[in-house]
Amino acid sequence: MRLIFDSHAHYDDEAFNEDRIDILKNLPEKGIFCVVNVGTCIETSKKAIEIASTYDYIWASIGIHPTYTNELKTEFIDKLKELAKDEKVVAIGEIGLDYHYGKETVNEQKEMFEKQLELAIELDKPVIIHNREAHLDTMALLKKYKPKGVVHCFSGSLEMANELIKQGMYIGLGGAVTFKNAKNPVNVAQNIPLEYMVLETDAPYMTPVPFRGKRCDSSHIQFTAQKIAELRGMDVEKLLEITKNNAIKLFRLEGKM
């Protein structure tokens, strides 16, 4: 049974250079139904499309991650528009704000984020949001533009999650819910309405316990799902099925798989 929908992975990452084809080819037999490979700059967005064109169960998201503010000096919006014409592109992202790594580029980050939010609305595509230690500014911009989409690797409070859900956005949960010190993700995983939850890896990063620290791939979602199912007192297969269907809806893949 292929029940796993990985809503966020980076198989273009150099961590997969040695065995990328093997890993991607074998995903279905490991229970993976679908993966969205997420770009972080123009180059990795192109790679995401390349990977998605090779496998019918992989789709692409294109966008400029907040740590790549150097792209501001380029015609990045025109380039993204061109890339978005590819039929395997299902979302704009990951885009957003990162004040952990980018305290000195806050203004550039905001400018780049807003331009890409406008682009997503113009193209009528869902967004994949990256938010690290920038909760207030991220919320303010999401409230201003009201895009559809998902906040990936959600680290905010339950209150913030519920505000986003009210706006019709999905909450992406990954390996962090299995970490010992994960208070917010656990509280969110346990309490948000299930119909707004999607699962993700952020592979090769954020590997769930018991493989934390090792390279992550989409099959590791089973450990994240197991933990969330325990928290909610439900069957893990049921959880995988519901979150898979949520992701199909989020990325508008009904009838395309």
Q: Which is nearer to Ni ion, 17 or 254 (CB)?
A: 17
The count of residues interacting with Ni ion (CB under 5 A) is 1
Q: How far is the CB of 206 from Ni ion (least distance, A)?
A: 8
Where do we find the tokens 């080819």? Answer: 25
Candidates 6, 98, 200, 202; binder of Ni ion (CB under 5 A) is 202
Contact call for residues 129 and 95 (beta carbons, < 8 A): yes
Q: Which is nearer to Ni ion, 14 or 254 (CB)?
A: 14
Contact call for residues 198 and 250 (beta carbons, < 8 A): yes
Q: How far is the CB of 205 from Ni ion (least distance, A)?
A: 7
- Residue 12 near Ni ion by CB under 5 A: no
Backbone angles phi, psi at 89, to 5 degrees: -85, 115
- With CB under 5 A as the contact rule, which of the stretches 77-85, 98-106, 143-151, 200-208 interacts with Ni ion? 200-208
Contact call for residues 31 and 222 (beta carbons, < 8 A): yes
Contacts 24+ apart (CB under 8 A), 208-215: 208/174, 208/175, 208/177, 208/178, 209/175, 209/178, 209/179, 209/180, 212/175, 212/178, 212/179, 215/15
- With CB under 5 A as the contact rule, which of the stretches 185-193, 196-204, 229-237, 238-246 interacts with Ni ion? 196-204
Dihedral, CA atoms, 141, 139, 223, 196, nearest 10 degrees? -90
Q: How far is the CB of 48 from Ni ion (least distance, A)?
A: 11
Q: How far is the CB of 235 from Ni ion (least distance, A)?
A: 28
- With CB under 5 A as the contact rule, which of the stretches 85-93, 106-114, 199-207, 211-219 interacts with Ni ion? 199-207
Site residues, Ni ion (CB under 5 A): 202
